Amino acid sequence: MTNNYPPQPTPEEPRHSWEDAVAGNPQNSYSNPQDNNGYPQQPAGYPQQPGMYPAMPLPEGYRPTSVTAAGVPVVQGNGRIAVLASLKVAFSQLFRNFLPWFLGLLATGAFLVGLSILVGIITGFAIATAGTSFDPENPQMPLPMVLVVVLVSTAMGALLMVFTTNGAIKTAAGENLTFGGFFTNPFGIGRGYLASFLLMLPMGFVQVIMELDSNNPVLLGSFSLATMATIFIAPLLYSWIPALLDSDQSLGQTLALSIELGKRNYGAWLAIVGLQILLSIGIVLTLGLGGFILYPVTYILIALAYRQAVGGTHELLPTR
């Protein structure tokens, strides 16, 4: 039989912007505040097989991954963060990509040894040039040298943070990670490095202040308060570096998105802060050996949580 029905017009794909996503515009964002308390409706029986999810509009510049070369099942994030399921998947993802992560950690160890040697050289130079003002019983570097040590340490630490986050984003997306994958990114590393440096710099200044007068009870109390404040501020900043490495957006745009994602899932992010503290304690209790597993798991967990929150693709999470 001949089909006499006229062809149906193809609806025009709406344009979705990063700014609309941050503002919560229901017409042009990746999530619809009118559905399901601010999150897009998902098919019944979540999670289902990959490919059964409707395409979720993503911010411009976002790098989606629909099929992985490793054959890993991936789904579209629904805006919510499943913390414990993500932790379980983070371990399995690490073991599946253990060789590149192991090599990366060995390189990190060599990097930290080199950094310690560099700081020791700077410290020795400061002591040698201190002259008669140097007290062996109370060694203290001159302020300019303290600033140099802090800036060098922060700059090197930021490199470590951005490369590790870069590898974690690829791991969370179900990609086959290679050692070289830590250092390559289609959107570049520079903006992520700058954000890492800015995030680490405040602690560097705290180090400078403590170096000047480490026995001052006021400074010690202020440091304790600052540490507590960091715990509650961290959920708003966790997504900043992953978003910069996962899109071509600016520092300001990704910071606004990170704050918005942090507010929407504040409890889940706060739980991740607690898990990060526990994993750090585990590294200390194992005399650093646990760092070969727990350190990368921390970064993969954060990357998985970010991709769920932003509506990106990530590995299928267990239902129980």
Render pLDDT for 71-90 as a digit per residue (tens, 0 to 9).
Answer: 778 888 889 999 999 999 99
Annotate 289-317 with b (16+ C-beta within 10 A) or e (fewer).
ebbbbbbbbbbbbbbbbbbbbbbbbbbbb
Annotate 84-117 with b (16+ C-beta within 10 A) or e (fewer).
ebbbebbeebbebbeebbeebbeebeebeeebee
In this prediction, residue 4 carries a pLDDT of 54
Mean predicted confidence (pLDDT) in 30-55: 36
Mean predicted confidence (pLDDT) in 271-289: 93
pTM above the 0.95 mark?
no
Domain ranges of the chain: 83-315
Q: What is d(CA 222, CA 282) in angstroms, rounded to the nearest whole number?
A: 27
Query: Is pLDDT of 51 > 60?
Result: no
78 contacts 36 by C-beta, under 8 angstroms: no
Q: What is d(CA 260, CA 257) in angstroms, rounded to the nearest whole number?
A: 5
299 contacts 165 by C-beta, under 8 angstroms: yes
Query: Is pLDDT of 308 > 70?
Result: yes
Render pLDDT for 133-153 as a digit per residue (tens, 0 to 9).
Answer: 444 445 556 677 777 778 888
Q: What is d(CA 258, CA 279) in angstroms, rounded to the nearest whole number?
A: 23
In this prediction, residue 48 carries a pLDDT of 33
In this prediction, residue 261 carries a pLDDT of 96
Q: Which two tokens stand for residue 177?
A: 């990670």
Render pLDDT for 233-260 as a digit per residue (tens, 0 to 9).
Answer: 999 999 999 999 999 999 999 999 999 9
Render pLDDT for 183-241 as a digit per residue (tens, 0 to 9).
Answer: 999 999 999 999 999 999 887 777 666 666 667 677 777 777 877 888 999 999 999 99
> Between 50 and 159, whose confidence is greater?
159
Render pLDDT for 54-76 as a digit per residue (tens, 0 to 9).
Answer: 333 444 434 444 556 567 788 88
Q: Place 24 in a pLDDT band, splitting at 50, 70 and 90.
A: very low
